[in-house]
């Protein structure tokens, strides 16, 4: 199977899963991808593996973005924040969240799969970026894992619930929202100012 065909199957799988839930028929996925079901199984082995790899593809997009370094911490965080919000608050992102909520009782491993394939790699990548900034002295020293938690929470906040329930506030669509969040985070983690040197009295 060519990589192009593989990508078509993964794209089709994610789209169908979002529309019909994890219980979607593999025949529908194959039909949308323009392949026969045997081709799908030959490459991915099972629907579980297809689902996992489709989610991993979303996670990889975030990781690729985190791997880029501009040399400017604010610019890197802002790029990540805008990209993260576009994924988390996009139509596909909300469809995935609703699917997980609806299917978690029937498929208890589903939430773990989503977390390990999508959320965990993004969190680890962000924690690494923040730890590097702390080592350079651009952020105050703290637990990078906790700092990553804080930034991801700030990027979602109550806005996620409002959008999920169709009750978005006017400010949620503000073009500078990601920028304001990143700047607030940078102020909270700004390095402590160097202590002033006390000059001795001269005789």
Residue 198 binned pLDDT confidence (cut-offs 50, 70, 90): low
pLDDT at 151: 96
Helices (H), the chain: 3-20, 26-33, 37-44, 47-67, 73-88, 91-103, 110-114, 120-135, 144-164, 177-188
| 93 vs 29: which has the higher pLDDT | 29
Asked whether residue 121 is assigned to any structural domain, the reply reads yes
Q: With 80 as the cut, is the pLDDT of residue 144 above it?
A: yes
Identify whether residues 29 and 69 lie together within a single domain.
no
Query: 160 in a domain, yes or no?
Result: yes
Q: pTM of the prediction?
A: 0.76
- 34 and 75 belong to one structural domain: no
pLDDT at 164: 77
pLDDT in tens, 53-97: 887 776 676 666 777 788 899 999 999 999 888 888 877 777 777
Indicate the average pLDDT of the chain: 85
User: Range of 10's domain?
Assistant: 1-45
Domain for residue 197, yes or no? no
The answer to whether 62 and 122 are in contact (CB under 8 A) is yes
Confidence of residue 200 (pLDDT cuts 50, 70, 90): low
The CATH number of whichever domain residue 62 belongs to comes to 1.10.357.10
In a domain, 3, yes or no: yes
Q: Are residues 4 and 65 in the same domain?
A: no
């Amino acid at each position: 199977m060519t990589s192009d065909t593989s990508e078509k199957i993964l794209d089709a799988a994610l789209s169908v899963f979002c529309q019909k839930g994890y219980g979607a028929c593999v025949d529908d996925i194959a039909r949308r991808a323009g392949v026969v079901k045997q081709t799908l199984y030959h490459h991915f082995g099972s629907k579980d593996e297809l689902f996992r790899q489709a989610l991993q593809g979303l996670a990889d997009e975030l990781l690729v973005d985190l791997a880029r370094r501009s040399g400017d911490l604010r610019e890197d965080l802002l790029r990540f924040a805008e990209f993260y919000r576009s994924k988390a608050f996009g139509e596909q992102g909300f469809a995935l969240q609703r699917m997980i909520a609806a299917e978690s009782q029937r498929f208890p491993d589903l939430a773990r799969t989503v977390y390990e394939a999508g959320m965990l790699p993004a969190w680890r990548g962000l924690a690494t970026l923040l730890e590097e900034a702390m080592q350079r002295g651009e952020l105050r020293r703290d637990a990078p894992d906790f700092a990553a938690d804080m930034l991801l929470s700030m990027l979602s906040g109550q806005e996620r619930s409002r959008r999920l329930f169709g009750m978005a506030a006017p400010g949620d669509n503000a073009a500078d929202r990601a920028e304001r969040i990143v700047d607030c985070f940078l102020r909270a983690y700004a390095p402590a100012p160097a202590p002033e040197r006390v000059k001795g009295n001269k005789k």
